Amino acid sequence: MTLKIKFKLAKSIFDYLYIRKLRNSNLNFFTRNRNFIGFFEQLKFFLKKKKNIKIFIIIFKKKKNWLFINKKKKKKKFFNFSN
């Protein structure tokens, strides 16, 4: 059995808006910040994000998740959410 997992680097504003949609639909899983992210907050994050931040959309069994990587602090957060 072969597992097909695709990692797609989030580059466009549409990728970031999709990640916003995933995150907002799963607010009950967050412990630090359960606030809804609006369109303008996401746009601001996209336009002002630092170069050491990488966000990937992970596609596994037709479900999409996302991974947040901060290279400078060497921290990774995997969010296992699907829409």
Global pTM reads 0.69
Give the burial string for 4-32 (b: 16+ CB within 10 Å, else e).
Answer: eeeeeebeeeebbebbbebbeeeeeeeee
The label of the residue with tokens 């170069």 reads 51
Return the number of other C-beta atoms located less than 10 Å from residue 69's C-beta: 16
Tens of pLDDT, residue by residue over 23-42, are 888 777 765 777 888 999 99
Query: At 13, is the pLDDT very low, low, confident or very high (cuts 50, 70, 90)?
Result: very high
Alpha-carbon gap, residue 64 to 20, rounded angstroms: 12
Could you read off the pLDDT of 37-82 as tens digits, one per residue? 899 999 998 898 888 778 888 877 777 776 666 666 655 665 555 5
